[in-house]
Amino acid sequence: MTQMMAAREGRVTPEMTHVARDEKVPVEVILEGVARGTIIIPHSGGRSKATRAVGIGRGLRTKVNASVGASSEGSDAGGEIDKLRVAISAGADTIMELSSGGDLDFLRRQVLEIAPVPVGTVPIYQAALEAIEQRGSIVDMTPEDMFEVIERQGADGVDFMAIHCALSLEVVARLRQQGRVADIVSRGGAFLTAWMLHHERENPLYEQFDRVLEIAKRHDVTLSIGDAIRPGCIADSLDRAQVQGLLLVGELVERAREAGVQVMVEGPGHVPVPQIEATVLLEKQVCKGAPYFVLGTLVTDIAPGYDHITAAIGGTIAATAGADFICYVTPAEHLGLPSAQDVREGVIAARIAAHAADLAKGVKGAWAWDLAMARARKALDWEAQFRLAMDPDKPRRLRAERSPGGSDACSMCGPHCAMKLISEYLGRKEIETC
């Protein structure tokens, strides 16, 4: 039975209780949200190890996903496991395992074994890779291959899967008619489109969506309906093709909910300033409040090497407008595979975006954190500042390197210290040093 089916029966699961406690909200709020589909708890029962239940959706803390994965060019399983550990220590709420090279079953099972948080995958990557290995090319992939991989990953205990179900011949036709600058940048979307055009056939994941639902229901896999044609440059944002895809997503969201399958929607991409809020509101409206999982969003195309920053800006605006879940972007985006250090930077940048938005949205507990930091700063309590810091290590290191004296006592002005005068004037007991 899925979390959604339990919620509809009014049954509070241990996962709902955990999420309620974690978010400091009454469990009824979680129960109602899961029943309606505005909150999801991606938590497959199939994992051997106990994992943290994480709630994503309306009224909850904005969550952050970090993606890892080996590729055919280089990166090994060990390196990816290392990144996984870094992402978890940096505070990622979920992990997506996006390998497109190496021993995929082995790596996925390793990640599922080690990650204490929900794990997501994109099954089409594996289906495509196996088609190349076994049949010689991606277009020789059969619908059976696709469903077999989804089933295999579901049986392994994957908590959520990005599946490009909302890609149809109609959407592809609109995309052609639109005349995009960057066409399709979603790898899974590109594989499927190539397959559809080659065979002149409908997308099996769309055509046989009920079969996807059946697997998802059996393993309580939360579906992330992948945005196969997310904009790959700001000029392509919110075009007719994207909106057509979104309409299809909305229909599939309803069908998933009817089947008792938890579902979220995956979105942008590159989005210019004035379109972010509209993009989020459109998703919320068309997909009836389904949690929105956004990559970035990146607000400019021209700062490669700094896309964790462009994404942090877009992510803040998107989450403030109602996006619930942010997929991190690392400084290596558009350039190559991220290093462990890039993963850390990416997770922290996305967490900053999520938290800044939570402050604006008035999410429970968000303000208390900043207030505690402000007080620690005022009191010059460095240990408390490091403890409260989103990443305690970096500020500790910077402080040690860049303020070698490290002394808080100020000997510059003697008895006429301006801070002391001000403190006395303002009637404060403690002396405020500079």
Query: Using CB under 8 A as the criterion, which residues of the chain lie in contact with another protein when the complex forms?
Result: 234, 272-274, 299-300, 302-303, 306, 308-310, 312-313, 316-317, 320, 348-349, 351-353, 355-357, 359-360, 367, 369-371, 373-375, 377-378, 385, 388-391, 394-395, 397-399, 401-405, 412-419, 421-422, 424-428, 432, 434
CB 95 → another protein: shortest distance, Å?
21
CB 307 → another protein: shortest distance, Å?
9
CB 105 → another protein: shortest distance, Å?
37
Nearer to another protein, 258 or 401 (CB): 401
Nearer to another protein, 335 or 418 (CB): 418
What b/e string do you get for 214-237 counting C-beta neighbours within 10 Å, with b at 16 or more?
ebbbebbbbbbbbbbbbbbbbebb
CB 399 → another protein: shortest distance, Å?
5
| C-alpha pair distances (Å), 168 with each of 100, 135, 187, 195 | 24, 24, 16, 12
Nearer to another protein, 49 or 375 (CB): 375
Nearer to another protein, 74 or 304 (CB): 304
CB 275 → another protein: shortest distance, Å?
10
Residue with tokens 């082995």: 106
What b/e string do you get for 19-31 counting C-beta neighbours within 10 Å, with b at 16 or more?
bbebbebebebbb
Nearer to another protein, 153 or 316 (CB): 316
Nearer to another protein, 35 or 352 (CB): 352
Taking each helix axis as running N to C, give the angle between helix 340-361 and helix 366-378, from 0 to 180 degrees, rounded to the nearest 10.
110
Nearer to another protein, 106 or 367 (CB): 367
Tokens representing 405 are 């004296």
CB 400 → another protein: shortest distance, Å?
9
Q: Reduced to 3 DSSP states, what percent helix, strand and coil does the chain have, rounded to the nearest 5? A: 55, 10, 35
Nearer to another protein, 144 or 393 (CB): 393
189 contacts 164 by C-beta, under 8 angstroms: yes
Angle value at C-alpha 244, between 148 and 62, nearest 5 degrees = 75
CA dist 332 and 285 (Å) reads: 34
CB 306 → another protein: shortest distance, Å?
5
Beta bridge partners of 63: 325
Nearer to another protein, 136 or 415 (CB): 415
Sequence-ordered strand ranges (E) for 318-411 = 325-327
Beta bridge partners of 222: 160
Nearer to another protein, 144 or 370 (CB): 370
Map residue 40 onto helix, strand or coil.
strand
CB 309 → another protein: shortest distance, Å?
5
CB 164 → another protein: shortest distance, Å?
29
CB 407 → another protein: shortest distance, Å?
10
CB 328 → another protein: shortest distance, Å?
12
CA dist 423 and 345 (Å) reads: 38
Nearer to another protein, 75 or 385 (CB): 385
**CA quadruple 405, 408, 409, 411: dihedral sign:** positive
DSSP line for 104-161? HHHHHHHHHHH-SS-EEE-HHHHHHHHHHHHHSSGGG--HHHHHHHHHHHHHHT-SEE
Question: How many CA atoms lie within 13 Å of 357's alpha carbon, on the beta-carbon side?
Answer: 29
344 contacts 84 by C-beta, under 8 angstroms: no
Peptide bond into 269 cis (omega under 30): yes
